[in-house]
Amino acid sequence: MNTADPTLICSAKGCRTPAVWVLAWNNPKLHTPERRKTWLACEEHREYLSRFLGVRDFLKEVVTLADWQEAQKSAEKDAEGESGPDPARG
Ligand SMILES: [Zn+2]
């Protein structure tokens, strides 16, 4: 399967709502400290999933999907040396 524009869906079981949050987590028993697993969450399930990870002490950060994708994009851009927004503007 090669979907050009996949809709990212909430990771909660049975939920088909498009995700708006990214929960970055790490299980120290399975993962190296810098490794990040991610779960996607809709508004409704953000708290539920955060708590699930939080009580296990796995949760590292919660960011909006837009911010997460922006961070991934700029990480890719870095490699290509593209210029970002002009800091001197204004
Ligand atoms: Zn959900």
| Every domain of the chain and the residues it spans | 21-77
Find the 50 Cα to ligand 1 centroid distance in Å: 12
Burial of 49: CB neighbours in 10 Å, binned 0-12, 13-18, 19+? buried
Sheet containing strand 37-41, strands side by side: 37-41, 21-25, 59-64
Q: What is the pLDDT of residues 27-46, one digit of tens each?
A: 999 999 999 999 999 999 99
For ligand 1, an ion, list residues with CB under 5 A.
10, 12, 15, 17, 42, 45
Find the 37 Cα to ligand 1 centroid distance in Å: 18
Residue with tokens 């779960």: 39
Q: What is the pLDDT of residues 41-63, one digit of tens each?
A: 999 999 999 999 999 999 999 99
Closest by CA to 61, choosing from 33, 28, 26, 23, is: 23
Confidence of residue 85 (pLDDT cuts 50, 70, 90): low
Task: Report the half-sphere exposure of 21 (CA within 13 A, side-chain side).
Answer: 18
Find the 34 Cα to ligand 1 centroid distance in Å: 27
